[in-house]
Amino acid sequence: MARMTLAEKIGQLNLMPAGEGLLTGTRQPTSLAARLENGQVGAIFGTKSVATARAMQERALAGSRLGIPLFFAEDVIHGHRTVFPLNIGLACSWDMDLIAATSAFAAAEAAAEGLHQVYAPMIDISRDPRWGRVAEGPGEDPSLAGRIAAAAVRGFQGKDPGSKGRVAACLKHFVAYGAPESGRDYDNVSLAWEDLLTTYLPPFAAGVAAGAASVMVAFNAVNKLPMHANGPLIEGWLRAKTGFDGLVVSDYTGVAELTPHGMGPAPVAVARALHAGVDMDMVGEDYLRELPGLAKAGVTAPDAGFALSAAQVTALIDRACRRVLRFKQQLGLLEDPFRGMARSARPPARAKGRALARKAAARAAVLLKNDGLLPLSPKARVTLIGPFAADRANMLGTWAVSGRAEDVTPLHEAVAALTGRAPTVAWGANIVDEPWLVQRLNVHGVTVRQDPRPEAEILAEALAAAATADVIIATVGEAKEHAGESSSRLSPDLPAPQQRLIAALAQTGKPLVVVVFAGRPLALGAVAEQADALLYAWHGGVAGPEGVADLLFGAASPSGRLAVTLPAHPGEVPLTYAAEPTGRPYPGHFAKFRTGWLDMPDDAPGFPFGFGLNYGQVSYGPPRLSRAKARADQAVNLQIMVTNTSARAVTETVQLYASDPVARITRPGRWLIDFQQVTLGPGECRTLRFRVTPDQFSYPLAPSLEDAEWVRDPGLIQLHIGANSRDTQTMDLTWLD
């Protein structure tokens, strides 16, 4: 660094798109070639081949007086070329080894393309199904999300992000991006500091503890301060409190967006972002434009209450540049700028990835209802009805930038391959009615096509096809771009034409299996009653439909558990099992002057967090605690016997929740503290042990972020153990001090 000029240091902070990837902002970046020749680029994201990466690296080295290499990044959100289920689906597996394995495979594919960093894992907690990016995330619970963050980091980075076949992880989006007002993407969030500390920050703490090498900041403002200018959270919490010492990158034009946020014109915005701890500026190039001037003259912005001297700006440029270079060193690029970019680099065997993707898809799907219909006999005559029965492109799900629709085996083919006979297929209904919505859904390429015939005609054809079947399998849900970035929905439910289709199919009286392919938790309304069996399959990636076929015909057993609550009605969102109690708690049905909804029927079928059915049955014995009273230096052991009472193997996720009936402030009604997944053979029983420790019950009192104090009280707490967040057995435990 001592040998670098100011301009060279500023160049290192510039993060540019390759121009081959997805452009998600409105600005057109400058010509990359010109920038590379002048040593004005620190890193590039979105290259699509090792050849391009190599060519760019050669150019960068030639254009850099000191021969400083670039690093290459990409959005590898749920797989790379081999697309795995959406992250919300993977979260429903509650299987950390599986999540680590999918991340490791994605890392190997990415590394073989000359990539060094992935913009993953996305670990935004979200409790609002209107927000489309629920699809990319770990669901609603901080402790499940924390484990997922750690597992994904382990998978991407291995022991060393600079080792062969591994990449640097980038935790995103820091922070509370998943709680925007009204569920509108990019919108701001105001919440109690306690919520931030107990719900939205813990997954980041877990990712940092697992060694994540980088973090991306979020577009939104949190408690009145946009994250790209949020020094208290970035330098104050992330670095000072968790000890994170990696690289912080902006989101796409996030620095420039500080201006419309009301943070001041470009020079002020840049100074604020750099000061807050945003080391690299993605796409906007505002660092490149503004920092030379700022380093000469400093900045004084009394209207924004912000000032930095020239010397301070220069020191901040040094700080950011050092972090960029350290990151490159950690990736081994300072020793070998072409690390991982050998022309002979080979990705891992695609067949291995497919097998993993198929297993993951079966594990991601959640069986919500089964009136004895599933699994189907391979001999059953089935008719597949609905707009997803032969679909490929939508199955990839959102943010599958390196995936290819032709890699997907559609459901009708998967069923034919598994059962040895081709099922009858009928379209049944259009995904949506509105032509303008179809246009919006097809923004990244056509995945939604409309059957122009009148709805009655389409339906009549489907009913005729159903007439010959023993069982109807209805495939409904959302298109790929229904969920994801900038895809917030007013009403997270099944689009109307598909609701009408299910109602008509139910009327036939034939056994009806409904498979939902979606990117968000949908309020299913009457569909949950109309179906005899209901499988929530998310968008399952390249082998999504094969995973579903495996479940439907019993080649795999369902074990998914909801990582996010399915609302009974779209109007009740945001929603979480962990809601704090009111003084007038909901009694389980509507009661005047109690918390609840006047116009929601009492029997509206929602599905709680943690819920999911097996094909077999598991019974829970009485739980036992090693002691009912404990001191603060003691751990308590909880023991429970679970028995598979059926003749099929089951994978059960035993979930442990806690509640604190008396505290200094309101606390969640219950919250997940631990879980264990076990596979039990027919008739097998197993005793599971959980360790309960006092630190699981500390909570923050936080008049401000800086003044947050973690406390723990003596007294009664309750432990709830069971198969989901609702169906549990409760034990009392008293902390003596």
Query: Mind telling me the catalytic residues?
Result: 251
Interface residue with ligand BGC among 109, 478, 485, 550 (CB under 6 A) is 485
The size of the chain, in residues, is 737
Nearer to ligand BGC, 76 or 408 (CB): 76
Binding mask 146-175 for ligand BGC (x = CB under 6 A): --------------------------x---
Cα–Cα separations (whole angstroms), residue 41 to 3, 47, 119, 315, 453: 18, 14, 18, 20, 53
Q: Which of 24/582 has CB closer to ligand BGC?
A: 24
Q: Quick check: 251 binds ligand BGC (CB under 6 A)?
A: yes
Q: How far is the CB of 567 from ligand BGC (least distance, A)?
A: 25
Question: Binding mask 434-473 vs ligand BGC (x if CB under 6 A, - otherwise)?
Answer: ----------------------------------------
Which of 287/690 has CB closer to ligand BGC? 287
Q: What is the nearest approach in angstroms of ligand BGC to the Cβ of residue 115?
A: 13
Q: How far apart are CA 130 and CA 483, in angstroms?
A: 9
Q: How far apart, in Å, are the Cα atoms of 285 and each of 299, 500, 717?
A: 18, 50, 53
Strands 533-536 and 728-735: unpaired
Whole-number minimum distance, CB 198 to ligand BGC, in Å? Answer: 24
Answer for the pair 230, 188: CB distance below 8 angstroms, yes or no. no
CB proximity list for 248: less than 8 A, separation 6 or greater: 174, 214, 215, 216, 217, 234, 238, 277, 278, 279, 280, 323
Helices (H), 128-238: 142-157, 193-195, 202-209, 231
Give the one residue of 119, 156, 193, 388 binding ligand BGC; rule: CB under 6 A: 119
Cβ-based neighbour number of residue 245 at 10 Å: 10
For residue 172, the minimal CB distance to ligand BGC (Å) is: 6
Is position 109 an interface residue for ligand BGC (rule: CB under 6 A)?
no
- Toward ligand BGC, which CB reaches closer, 12 or 398? 398
Q: Do β-strands 471-477 and 382-385 pair in parallel, antiparallel, or remain unpaired?
A: parallel
Nearer to ligand BGC, 119 or 287 (CB): 119
Q: How far is the CB of 199 from ligand BGC (least distance, A)?
A: 20
Between 8 and 251, whose beta carbon lies closer to ligand BGC?
A: 251
Q: How many other C-beta atoms lie within 10 A of the C-beta of residue 352?
A: 12
Q: Does 185 bind ligand BGC (CB under 6 A)?
A: no
Distance CA 264, CA 225 (A): 13
Q: Does 257 bind ligand BGC (CB under 6 A)?
A: no
Burial class (CB in 10 A: 0-12, 13-18, 19+), 159: exposed
Q: Which is nearer to ligand BGC, 170 or 537 (CB)?
A: 170
Question: With contacts defined by CB under 6 A, how many residues of the chain interact with ligand BGC?
Answer: 7
- For the bound state, the minimum distance from the C-beta of residue 31 to ligand BGC, rounded and expressed in Å, comes to 19
* Helix 286-297 × helix 266-276 angle, to 10°: 90
- Phi and psi based region of residue 254 (left: phi greater than 0; alpha: psi -120 to 50; beta: remaining): alpha
Instruction: Find, among 676, 614, 666, the residue nearest to 645 by Cα.
Output: 614
Smallest distance from the beta carbon of 228 to ligand BGC, in angstroms? Answer: 12
Tell me the C-alpha distance between 170 and 15, whole Å: 14
CB 250 within 8 A of CB 15: yes
**Which of 252, 517, 615, 690 touches ligand BGC (CB under 6 A)?**
252
Main-chain dihedrals φ then ψ at residue 536, nearest 5 degrees: -100, 105
Distance of CA 722 to the CA centre of its chain: 25
Structure tokens belonging to residue 319? 């700080």
At position 185, the amino acid (one-letter code) is D
Per-residue DSSP letter, 697: G
Query: Rule CB under 6 A: is residue 24 a binding residue for ligand BGC?
Result: yes
CB of 540 to ligand BGC, least distance (A): 21
Of the pair 119, 427, the CB lying nearest ligand BGC is at 119
Q: Is residue 27 near ligand BGC by the rule CB under 6 A?
A: no
Beta carbon of residue 133, minimum distance to ligand BGC (angstroms, whole number): 8
Cβ-based nearer residue to ligand BGC, 18 or 91: 18
Residue 207 to residue 685: CA distance in whole angstroms: 34
Q: Which of 9, 44, 75, 376 binds ligand BGC (CB under 6 A)?
A: 75
Residues that bind ligand BGC (CB under 6 A): 24, 75, 119, 172, 251-252, 485
